[in-house]
Structure 1
Amino acid sequence: MLKKLSKTIAGIFIVTLAFSCEENKQVEAPEVVGPTPSREQLAWHNMEMYAFIHFTTNTFTDKKWGYRDESPEVFNPTALDVGQWMQTLKKAGFKSVILTAKPHNDFALDPSDDKKRSC
């Protein structure tokens, strides 16, 4: 029964393909109906996958949520290879990366010479 059904489906596919290839003429696009996306919106849509990176004190304390009670000295990336992150994300198919520079716990990833600055 399954073999017969497979043959029938294959036959329908071949007939459909034959009819679709029979006329190879240009067809005009239909008129646009309703709102259409802008060029920028289409570009955003084509980016497909974004990676979100949350690199903060929680990375070093192994906490899911920070409570603003961590010392700034906890954040101490000694062997950071951001290039390796980007290579991995690119190989995985990500088109863009968003770095969370100031998560909910108020720890900011901004350049500062003030080592005594609190979270």
Structure 2
Amino acid sequence: MDNTTFIALAEPNRLRIVELLLEGPLTVGDIADGLGLRQPQASKHLRVLLDAGLVEVQAVANRRNYKLRLEPFQELDTWLETYRSIWDERFEALENYLKKLRNKENKQN
């Protein structure tokens, strides 16, 4: 897993841009308005997301629409899968422990 993805997503405004783009492609102006930023600020954040490969630009007439690229997020999901199984095991063990405590408590009452 490339750290570039994590670095790009660590900044709150860039993460919010990704969340906005979940709804579909947007222009810089749409993104700036959605986040309450000025266009130059939104453009700087989009440049980082572009460089990290998280978004791509589509030219439509005289507009540039930004949209999410699925591949980096699929890679991230695959990487996280390893940790999900670890946490699932731990949560299952915790659940079993809590059931034992409840059963023990019910037997004492």
> Which has a greater percent of helix?
2
> Which has a greater percent of strand?
2
TM-score calculated relative to the size of structure 2: 0.21
- Find the structure with the greater CA-based Rg: 1
